[in-house]
A and B are shown apart, each in its own frame.
Chain A
Amino acid sequence: MIVEYIQSALLIIAAFLVIVSAVGLLSLSKDMKNAVYGRIHIVGIFDIACIIAMIGLGQYLLAGIYFIIAPFTAHAIANAFYKGEDVENNAKLGEIEEDDVDDSNPFIVPRSKVQELENEDSEKLKTDDRFTISTLDIVEEE
């Protein structure tokens, strides 16, 4: 009888934690800085709730496996976000390689040159230099 009460208490605690983490996952503001890391942290609460529920259901081996596995998942996702998409914190993602820009190609222009052209206060470039029209003179005799 006491075991049943302990089991049901564990399951209710787990359910409470799951609902809290679900509300937290959705209510976290999009404009907040580092929101993805915050959501990964909230999912950590859900993982612990799952482990408590597994213990309450008597699945101790599964609980042990998930206790080891869950941090690996969270770190892998956080690492992937930092290396691939985190422009705020990872300075390498903001750099643009301009060495590959070919000067002879008229359709590919470096970003710095475009920004200079867009800047109206630039004294180096006059208004006439922004757009150039080249014409071909065709001589019929040739």
Chain B
Amino acid sequence: MDILIISKYILIIAFMIMMIAALRASAYKTTSMGLLGSSVVVVAFAMALLVCGEMYNLTFYRDISLALIFFGFVGTVAFAVVAGGDK
């Protein structure tokens, strides 16, 4: 088996572990931790999608992961501005 394929599988497993850890972290009591955990979950999912699309030659995977990363950023910043208050 090619070493590149093996490293991609290892990376996908690492992203799965990170998603579970971020889900646990998002359950902590402050709102900011929920925001942080959800943003990490979105980025980890986009990265896993990027690796899977590279492996199986999926179409549009790059566009979908770009959209997830970009709109995840926009949503996180918007919620952070609302949560911080207007003062």
Contacts and interface: CB of A to CB of B under 8 A. Distances in A.
Contacts of B36: 36, 39-40, 43, 77
Contact of B73 (A9, A40, A43, A69): A69
A18 B15 contact: yes
Contact of B70 (A12, A54, A69): A69
Given A39-B33, A80-B84, A84-B84, A19 B17 contact: yes
A69 to B, nearest CB: 5
Contacts of A58: 54
Q: Is the interface of B mostly helix, strand, loop or mixed?
A: helix
Nearest to B24: A26
Contacts of A16: 14
A85 B30 contact: yes
A30 B28 CA distance: 9
Contact of B4 (A8, A19, A30, A43): A8
Nearest to B73: A69
Interface residues of B, number: 48
Given A43-B40, A77-B76, A15 B10 contact: yes
23 contacts: A4-B4, A11-B11, A12-B11, A15-B7, A15-B10, A15-B13, A18-B15, A18-B44, A25-B22, A39-B25, A46-B43, A54-B50, A62-B69, A69-B69, A73-B73, A73-B76, A79-B84, A80-B31, A80-B35, A80-B79, A84-B31, A84-B84, A85-B32
Interface of A: 4-5, 7-9, 11-12, 14-16, 18-19, 21-23, 25-26, 30, 36, 39-40, 43, 46-47, 50, 53-54, 57-59, 62, 65-66, 69, 72-73, 76-85
Given A8-B6, A15-B13, A15-B14, 10 more contacts: A4-B4, A5-B3, A19-B14, A19-B17, A25-B25, A47-B43, A72-B73, A73-B39, A79-B80, A80-B31
